[in-house]
Amino acid sequence: MNFPIQDTVGAWVPHGRFVVDGRSSGPLAGLRFAAKDVFHVAGHPTAAGNPDWLSSHPVPTANAAVIDRLLGAGATLVGKVLTDELAYSLHGDNAHFGTPINTRYPDRVPGGSSSGSAAAVGAHLVDFALGTDTGGSTRVPASYGGLWGLRTTHGLVSAEGLVPLHPSFDTVTWLAHEADTFERVGRVLLPASAWAPRRLLVPQDAWDLADPLFAEPLARVRDALAAQLGVGAQATRWSGDSTLDAWRQVYATAGAFDGWQTHGDWITQHQPVFGDAIAARWAAASRVSEADATQARAQWAHIRAQVRDLLGPDGVAVLPSAASLAPRRDASAADVDAVRLRTMAITCIAGLAGLPQVSLPIDTADGEVVGISLMGPPGSDLELIRLATRLHPMVQTPHHAERC
Protein backbone atom coordinates (compact mmCIF):
# COMPACT_ATOMS: atom_id res chain seq x y z
CA MET A 1 0.00 0.00 0.00
CA ASN A 2 1.34 3.45 -0.91
CA PHE A 3 1.83 5.82 2.01
CA PRO A 4 -1.27 8.05 1.98
CA ILE A 5 0.17 11.14 3.71
CA GLN A 6 1.64 14.12 1.88
CA ASP A 7 3.87 15.30 4.71
CA THR A 8 3.76 19.07 4.32
CA VAL A 9 5.13 19.83 7.79
CA GLY A 10 8.12 17.49 8.19
CA ALA A 11 6.45 15.47 10.92
CA TRP A 12 7.18 11.87 9.83
CA VAL A 13 10.49 10.15 10.50
CA PRO A 14 12.25 8.52 7.50
CA HIS A 15 11.60 5.00 8.83
CA GLY A 16 8.01 5.80 9.79
CA ARG A 17 6.14 5.79 6.48
CA PHE A 18 3.89 2.77 6.70
CA VAL A 19 0.22 1.92 7.28
CA VAL A 20 -1.32 -0.54 9.72
CA ASP A 21 -5.05 -0.92 9.17
CA GLY A 22 -7.34 -1.08 12.16
CA ARG A 23 -10.42 -3.26 12.47
CA SER A 24 -13.12 -2.59 9.91
CA SER A 25 -15.52 -1.51 12.66
CA GLY A 26 -15.30 -0.01 16.09
CA PRO A 27 -15.71 3.30 17.93
CA LEU A 28 -12.70 4.83 16.14
CA ALA A 29 -13.40 3.39 12.67
CA GLY A 30 -12.58 5.88 9.94
CA LEU A 31 -10.01 7.79 12.02
CA ARG A 32 -6.32 7.94 11.17
CA PHE A 33 -3.60 8.42 13.75
CA ALA A 34 0.17 8.72 13.91
CA ALA A 35 2.39 7.50 16.74
CA LYS A 36 5.27 9.35 18.35
CA ASP A 37 8.45 7.43 17.54
CA VAL A 38 8.82 6.10 21.07
CA PHE A 39 5.97 3.59 20.66
CA HIS A 40 6.89 0.17 19.32
CA VAL A 41 5.14 -1.08 16.19
CA ALA A 42 5.78 -4.68 15.17
CA GLY A 43 8.06 -4.96 12.16
CA HIS A 44 9.06 -1.29 12.18
CA PRO A 45 12.09 0.22 13.94
CA THR A 46 11.92 2.68 16.82
CA ALA A 47 14.46 5.51 16.93
CA ALA A 48 13.25 7.52 19.94
CA GLY A 49 14.56 10.59 18.14
CA ASN A 50 18.17 9.40 17.88
CA PRO A 51 19.96 7.52 15.07
CA ASP A 52 22.25 5.74 17.54
CA TRP A 53 19.22 4.35 19.37
CA LEU A 54 17.85 3.22 16.01
CA SER A 55 21.06 1.39 15.07
CA SER A 56 21.61 -0.26 18.46
CA HIS A 57 18.15 -1.71 19.12
CA PRO A 58 16.33 -4.55 17.36
CA VAL A 59 13.17 -4.05 15.36
CA PRO A 60 10.21 -4.66 17.70
CA THR A 61 8.22 -7.84 17.23
CA ALA A 62 5.10 -6.62 19.08
CA ASN A 63 3.03 -3.47 19.19
CA ALA A 64 2.86 -1.16 22.18
CA ALA A 65 -0.25 -1.94 24.20
CA VAL A 66 -1.89 1.38 23.35
CA ILE A 67 -1.32 0.80 19.61
CA ASP A 68 -3.19 -2.49 19.85
CA ARG A 69 -6.04 -0.80 21.75
CA LEU A 70 -6.47 1.83 19.05
CA LEU A 71 -6.18 -0.60 16.14
CA GLY A 72 -8.70 -2.86 17.84
CA ALA A 73 -11.09 0.10 18.12
CA GLY A 74 -10.96 0.63 14.36
CA ALA A 75 -8.41 3.43 13.97
CA THR A 76 -5.75 3.16 11.24
CA LEU A 77 -2.11 3.85 12.07
CA VAL A 78 -0.33 5.94 9.46
CA GLY A 79 3.25 5.72 10.60
CA LYS A 80 5.54 7.28 13.15
CA VAL A 81 6.35 10.92 13.76
CA LEU A 82 9.21 12.92 15.22
CA THR A 83 10.13 13.24 18.86
CA ASP A 84 12.85 15.18 20.62
CA GLU A 85 15.72 12.84 21.48
CA LEU A 86 14.59 10.26 24.06
CA ALA A 87 11.73 12.73 24.70
CA TYR A 88 14.04 14.90 26.83
CA SER A 89 12.87 18.38 25.77
CA LEU A 90 9.88 20.71 25.51
CA HIS A 91 11.14 22.61 22.45
CA GLY A 92 10.38 20.44 19.43
CA ASP A 93 13.62 20.56 17.49
CA ASN A 94 15.75 17.53 16.70
CA ALA A 95 19.42 17.78 15.75
CA HIS A 96 19.14 14.70 13.49
CA PHE A 97 15.64 14.74 12.00
CA GLY A 98 14.78 18.45 11.97
CA THR A 99 12.05 20.64 13.41
CA PRO A 100 8.46 20.04 12.26
CA ILE A 101 6.34 23.01 11.24
CA ASN A 102 3.80 24.48 13.62
CA THR A 103 0.93 25.25 11.22
CA ARG A 104 -0.70 27.67 13.65
CA TYR A 105 2.53 29.65 14.04
CA PRO A 106 4.96 28.73 11.22
CA ASP A 107 7.67 31.04 12.57
CA ARG A 108 7.54 29.32 15.97
CA VAL A 109 8.54 25.84 17.17
CA PRO A 110 5.89 23.13 17.57
CA GLY A 111 6.93 22.26 21.10
CA GLY A 112 8.24 18.92 22.27
CA SER A 113 8.85 16.25 22.90
CA SER A 114 5.67 15.21 21.04
CA SER A 115 6.67 17.58 18.25
CA GLY A 116 5.77 15.43 15.26
CA SER A 117 2.47 14.42 16.83
CA ALA A 118 1.51 18.07 17.32
CA ALA A 119 2.68 19.08 13.84
CA ALA A 120 0.78 16.25 12.11
CA VAL A 121 -2.42 16.98 14.03
CA GLY A 122 -2.06 20.75 13.64
CA ALA A 123 -1.81 20.37 9.87
CA HIS A 124 -4.91 18.09 9.85
CA LEU A 125 -2.88 15.30 8.27
CA VAL A 126 -4.24 12.87 10.88
CA ASP A 127 -7.27 12.97 13.14
CA PHE A 128 -5.23 12.40 16.28
CA ALA A 129 -1.72 11.36 17.29
CA LEU A 130 -0.21 9.45 20.17
CA GLY A 131 2.26 11.32 22.34
CA THR A 132 3.76 11.10 25.79
CA ASP A 133 3.87 13.58 28.64
CA THR A 134 6.59 13.34 31.27
CA GLY A 135 7.27 16.98 32.18
CA GLY A 136 4.82 18.63 29.80
CA SER A 137 5.56 17.01 26.43
CA THR A 138 1.92 16.94 25.30
CA ARG A 139 0.39 19.82 27.24
CA VAL A 140 3.02 22.25 25.96
CA PRO A 141 2.78 21.35 22.22
CA ALA A 142 -1.02 21.47 22.59
CA SER A 143 -0.76 25.00 23.94
CA TYR A 144 1.78 26.07 21.32
CA GLY A 145 -0.32 24.78 18.42
CA GLY A 146 -3.90 25.44 19.50
CA LEU A 147 -4.72 21.74 19.97
CA TRP A 148 -6.45 19.46 22.43
CA GLY A 149 -3.98 17.55 24.58
CA LEU A 150 -3.56 16.10 28.03
CA ARG A 151 -1.50 14.40 30.65
CA THR A 152 -3.19 11.23 31.91
CA THR A 153 -3.15 9.98 35.49
CA HIS A 154 0.23 8.30 35.90
CA GLY A 155 -0.11 4.58 35.17
CA LEU A 156 -3.75 4.75 34.03
CA VAL A 157 -2.94 4.03 30.35
CA SER A 158 -0.45 1.19 29.83
CA ALA A 159 3.11 2.23 28.94
CA GLU A 160 3.98 -1.31 27.79
CA GLY A 161 5.97 -1.07 24.56
CA LEU A 162 7.04 2.54 25.16
CA VAL A 163 10.65 3.76 25.18
CA PRO A 164 10.72 5.50 28.57
CA LEU A 165 12.31 8.77 29.61
CA HIS A 166 11.58 8.98 33.34
CA PRO A 167 9.37 5.96 34.11
CA SER A 168 8.19 7.45 37.39
CA PHE A 169 6.64 10.35 35.47
CA ASP A 170 5.98 9.08 31.90
CA THR A 171 2.36 9.01 30.72
CA VAL A 172 0.70 7.91 27.46
CA THR A 173 -1.25 10.73 25.80
CA TRP A 174 -2.80 11.96 22.57
CA LEU A 175 -3.49 15.21 20.71
CA ALA A 176 -6.41 16.08 18.44
CA HIS A 177 -7.64 19.12 16.51
CA GLU A 178 -11.33 18.43 17.19
CA ALA A 179 -12.91 18.13 20.64
CA ASP A 180 -15.17 15.28 19.53
CA THR A 181 -12.24 13.20 18.27
CA PHE A 182 -10.27 13.94 21.43
CA GLU A 183 -13.12 12.63 23.57
CA ARG A 184 -13.74 9.60 21.32
CA VAL A 185 -10.18 8.46 21.88
CA GLY A 186 -10.59 9.02 25.61
CA ARG A 187 -13.64 6.77 25.70
CA VAL A 188 -11.51 3.97 24.21
CA LEU A 189 -8.38 4.38 26.32
CA LEU A 190 -9.72 5.54 29.69
CA PRO A 191 -11.84 3.82 32.32
CA ALA A 192 -15.16 5.27 33.41
CA SER A 193 -15.06 7.71 36.30
CA ALA A 194 -17.69 8.78 38.82
CA TRP A 195 -15.88 12.06 39.52
CA ALA A 196 -18.15 15.09 39.88
CA PRO A 197 -16.43 18.42 40.62
CA ARG A 198 -17.91 20.58 43.35
CA ARG A 199 -14.98 22.89 44.12
CA LEU A 200 -13.06 25.21 41.76
CA LEU A 201 -9.43 25.95 42.59
CA VAL A 202 -7.05 28.58 41.24
CA PRO A 203 -3.31 27.94 41.83
CA GLN A 204 -2.38 31.63 41.75
CA ASP A 205 1.35 30.96 41.76
CA ALA A 206 0.95 29.03 38.48
CA TRP A 207 -1.13 31.84 36.97
CA ASP A 208 1.57 34.36 37.92
CA LEU A 209 4.23 32.45 35.95
CA ALA A 210 2.39 32.83 32.63
CA ASP A 211 2.79 35.76 30.25
CA PRO A 212 0.13 38.53 30.47
CA LEU A 213 -1.75 37.30 27.38
CA PHE A 214 -2.89 34.27 29.44
CA ALA A 215 -4.62 36.41 32.07
CA GLU A 216 -7.92 37.11 30.30
CA PRO A 217 -8.42 33.57 28.86
CA LEU A 218 -7.65 32.11 32.30
CA ALA A 219 -10.23 34.38 33.91
CA ARG A 220 -12.76 33.58 31.18
CA VAL A 221 -12.40 29.83 31.75
CA ARG A 222 -12.49 30.28 35.54
CA ASP A 223 -15.67 32.37 35.43
CA ALA A 224 -17.48 30.10 32.95
CA LEU A 225 -16.59 27.01 34.96
CA ALA A 226 -17.69 28.68 38.20
CA ALA A 227 -21.04 29.49 36.62
CA GLN A 228 -21.40 25.97 35.24
CA LEU A 229 -20.61 24.35 38.60
CA GLY A 230 -22.49 26.94 40.66
CA VAL A 231 -19.51 27.58 42.93
CA GLY A 232 -17.02 30.30 43.67
CA ALA A 233 -13.34 30.01 42.76
CA GLN A 234 -10.84 29.47 45.58
CA ALA A 235 -7.52 31.18 44.82
CA THR A 236 -4.45 30.10 46.77
CA ARG A 237 -0.70 29.65 46.47
CA TRP A 238 -0.32 25.90 45.97
CA SER A 239 3.41 25.89 46.71
CA GLY A 240 2.78 27.39 50.17
CA ASP A 241 6.01 28.47 51.83
CA SER A 242 8.02 27.11 48.89
CA THR A 243 7.92 28.16 45.21
CA LEU A 244 6.91 26.40 42.03
CA ASP A 245 10.46 26.88 40.77
CA ALA A 246 11.66 24.87 43.76
CA TRP A 247 9.08 22.21 42.84
CA ARG A 248 10.50 22.21 39.31
CA GLN A 249 13.95 21.54 40.71
CA VAL A 250 12.56 18.61 42.71
CA TYR A 251 11.03 17.20 39.52
CA ALA A 252 14.25 17.82 37.55
CA THR A 253 16.41 16.02 40.13
CA ALA A 254 14.10 13.05 40.68
CA GLY A 255 13.42 12.71 36.96
CA ALA A 256 17.06 12.99 35.93
CA PHE A 257 18.10 10.28 38.38
CA ASP A 258 15.23 8.08 37.15
CA GLY A 259 16.29 8.66 33.54
CA TRP A 260 19.95 7.89 34.19
CA GLN A 261 19.03 4.65 35.95
CA THR A 262 17.02 3.78 32.83
CA HIS A 263 19.42 4.85 30.08
CA GLY A 264 22.80 5.49 31.71
CA ASP A 265 24.30 2.13 30.78
CA TRP A 266 23.27 2.51 27.13
CA ILE A 267 24.62 6.07 26.95
CA THR A 268 27.90 5.04 28.57
CA GLN A 269 28.34 2.03 26.32
CA HIS A 270 27.26 3.51 22.98
CA GLN A 271 28.28 7.17 23.42
CA PRO A 272 25.36 8.42 21.28
CA VAL A 273 25.55 11.78 19.56
CA PHE A 274 22.92 14.12 21.04
CA GLY A 275 22.03 17.69 20.20
CA ASP A 276 23.71 20.20 22.52
CA ALA A 277 20.77 20.84 24.86
CA ILE A 278 19.91 17.14 25.19
CA ALA A 279 23.56 16.20 25.72
CA ALA A 280 23.81 18.75 28.53
CA ARG A 281 20.75 17.29 30.24
CA TRP A 282 22.08 13.75 30.13
CA ALA A 283 25.47 14.92 31.40
CA ALA A 284 23.74 16.63 34.32
CA ALA A 285 21.62 13.51 34.94
CA SER A 286 24.76 11.39 35.21
CA ARG A 287 25.95 13.57 38.10
CA VAL A 288 22.81 13.28 40.28
CA SER A 289 23.84 11.36 43.38
CA GLU A 290 21.83 8.80 45.30
CA ALA A 291 21.71 11.25 48.22
CA ASP A 292 20.34 14.03 46.00
CA ALA A 293 17.75 11.66 44.57
CA THR A 294 16.69 10.47 48.02
CA GLN A 295 16.18 14.04 49.19
CA ALA A 296 14.24 14.91 46.03
CA ARG A 297 12.02 11.85 46.42
CA ALA A 298 11.14 12.86 49.96
CA GLN A 299 10.19 16.36 48.79
CA TRP A 300 8.28 14.83 45.87
CA ALA A 301 6.20 12.68 48.22
CA HIS A 302 5.32 15.75 50.29
CA ILE A 303 4.33 17.76 47.19
CA ARG A 304 2.26 14.88 45.83
CA ALA A 305 0.31 14.58 49.08
CA GLN A 306 -0.12 18.36 49.32
CA VAL A 307 -1.57 18.76 45.80
CA ARG A 308 -3.82 15.73 46.08
CA ASP A 309 -5.10 17.02 49.42
CA LEU A 310 -5.84 20.43 47.89
CA LEU A 311 -7.88 18.86 45.10
CA GLY A 312 -9.51 16.23 47.25
CA PRO A 313 -12.01 13.91 45.57
CA ASP A 314 -14.19 16.70 44.15
CA GLY A 315 -11.89 19.57 43.13
CA VAL A 316 -10.98 20.92 39.68
CA ALA A 317 -8.21 23.44 39.09
CA VAL A 318 -7.74 25.96 36.26
CA LEU A 319 -4.18 26.78 35.24
CA PRO A 320 -2.12 27.72 32.17
CA SER A 321 -0.79 24.86 30.05
CA ALA A 322 2.45 26.73 29.32
CA ALA A 323 4.05 30.03 30.29
CA SER A 324 4.12 31.67 26.87
CA LEU A 325 3.43 31.36 23.19
CA ALA A 326 5.82 29.01 21.42
CA PRO A 327 9.36 30.40 21.13
CA ARG A 328 10.38 31.62 17.70
CA ARG A 329 12.33 29.14 15.62
CA ASP A 330 15.33 31.51 15.64
CA ALA A 331 15.20 32.28 19.38
CA SER A 332 18.48 32.18 21.26
CA ALA A 333 19.34 29.21 23.45
CA ALA A 334 19.18 31.48 26.51
CA ASP A 335 15.69 32.71 25.65
CA VAL A 336 14.49 29.16 24.97
CA ASP A 337 15.84 27.93 28.30
CA ALA A 338 14.26 30.81 30.22
CA VAL A 339 10.84 29.96 28.78
CA ARG A 340 11.38 26.23 29.38
CA LEU A 341 12.17 26.69 33.07
CA ARG A 342 9.16 28.92 33.63
CA THR A 343 6.86 26.53 31.79
CA MET A 344 8.17 23.50 33.66
CA ALA A 345 7.47 25.24 36.97
CA ILE A 346 3.82 25.10 35.88
CA THR A 347 3.76 21.66 34.26
CA CYS A 348 5.65 19.95 37.10
CA ILE A 349 2.60 20.25 39.37
CA ALA A 350 0.63 17.48 37.65
CA GLY A 351 3.80 15.47 37.06
CA LEU A 352 4.83 15.43 40.72
CA ALA A 353 1.26 14.72 41.84
CA GLY A 354 0.64 12.07 39.14
CA LEU A 355 -2.61 13.82 38.15
CA PRO A 356 -4.58 14.23 34.91
CA GLN A 357 -4.58 17.60 33.16
CA VAL A 358 -6.51 18.47 29.99
CA SER A 359 -5.40 21.41 27.81
CA LEU A 360 -8.11 23.30 25.90
CA PRO A 361 -7.21 25.62 23.00
CA ILE A 362 -8.54 29.05 23.97
CA ASP A 363 -8.38 32.13 21.77
CA THR A 364 -7.35 35.54 23.03
CA ALA A 365 -9.04 38.81 22.18
CA ASP A 366 -6.25 39.74 19.73
CA GLY A 367 -6.42 36.47 17.79
CA GLU A 368 -3.71 34.40 19.47
CA VAL A 369 -4.41 30.96 20.91
CA VAL A 370 -3.16 29.57 24.23
CA GLY A 371 -3.66 26.40 26.20
CA ILE A 372 -5.74 26.65 29.36
CA SER A 373 -5.87 23.50 31.49
CA LEU A 374 -8.24 21.74 33.83
CA MET A 375 -6.64 19.46 36.43
CA GLY A 376 -8.54 16.85 38.43
CA PRO A 377 -7.90 14.14 41.03
CA PRO A 378 -6.38 10.77 40.06
CA GLY A 379 -8.56 8.69 37.76
CA SER A 380 -10.87 11.58 36.82
CA ASP A 381 -9.42 11.70 33.28
CA LEU A 382 -12.47 10.79 31.22
CA GLU A 383 -14.88 13.03 33.11
CA LEU A 384 -12.26 15.81 33.02
CA ILE A 385 -12.22 15.54 29.22
CA ARG A 386 -16.02 15.62 29.10
CA LEU A 387 -16.09 18.68 31.35
CA ALA A 388 -13.55 20.40 29.11
CA THR A 389 -15.41 19.64 25.88
CA ARG A 390 -18.71 20.90 27.36
CA LEU A 391 -17.04 24.06 28.60
CA HIS A 392 -15.12 24.89 25.44
CA PRO A 393 -17.96 26.41 23.35
CA MET A 394 -18.88 28.66 26.27
CA VAL A 395 -15.47 30.31 26.52
CA GLN A 396 -14.64 31.11 22.92
CA THR A 397 -14.96 34.77 21.98
CA PRO A 398 -17.31 36.15 19.29
CA HIS A 399 -14.16 37.04 17.34
CA HIS A 400 -13.22 33.35 17.30
CA ALA A 401 -16.73 32.31 16.28
CA GLU A 402 -16.66 34.73 13.34
CA ARG A 403 -13.31 33.34 12.16
CA CYS A 404 -14.68 29.80 12.34
What is the tens place of the pLDDT at every residue in 45-86? 999 999 999 999 999 999 999 999 999 999 999 999 999 999
Among residues 80, 89, 113, 324, the one annotated as catalytic is 113
Residues 6+ apart with CB under 8 A from 232: 200, 226
CATH architecture of 199-403: Alpha-Beta Complex (3.90)
Which of 390, 325, 319 has the alpha carbon at shortest distance from 363? Answer: 325
**Packing angle, helices 276-286 and 244-270, rounded to 10:** 90
DSSP class of residue 35?
Answer: E
pTM over 0.85: yes
Confidence of residue 400 (pLDDT cuts 50, 70, 90): very low
Looking at domain 32-189, its CATH superfamily turns out to be Amidase signature (AS) domain (3.90.1300.10)
Among residues 117, 137, 321, 359, the one annotated as catalytic is 137
Q: Taking the domains of the chain in order of start, what are their residue ranges?
A: 32-189, 199-403
Q: How many residues does the chain have?
A: 404
Over residues 252-297, the pLDDT tens digits come to 999 999 999 999 999 999 999 999 999 999 999 999 999 999 999 9
Over residues 108-162, the pLDDT tens digits come to 999 999 999 999 999 999 999 999 999 999 999 999 999 999 999 999 999 999 9
- How much is the pLDDT for 397? 75
Topology match between the domains 32-189 and 199-403: yes
Q: Does residue 36 carry a catalytic annotation? A: yes
The count of C-alpha atoms lying within 13 angstroms of the C-alpha of 108, restricted to the half-sphere facing its C-beta, is: 18
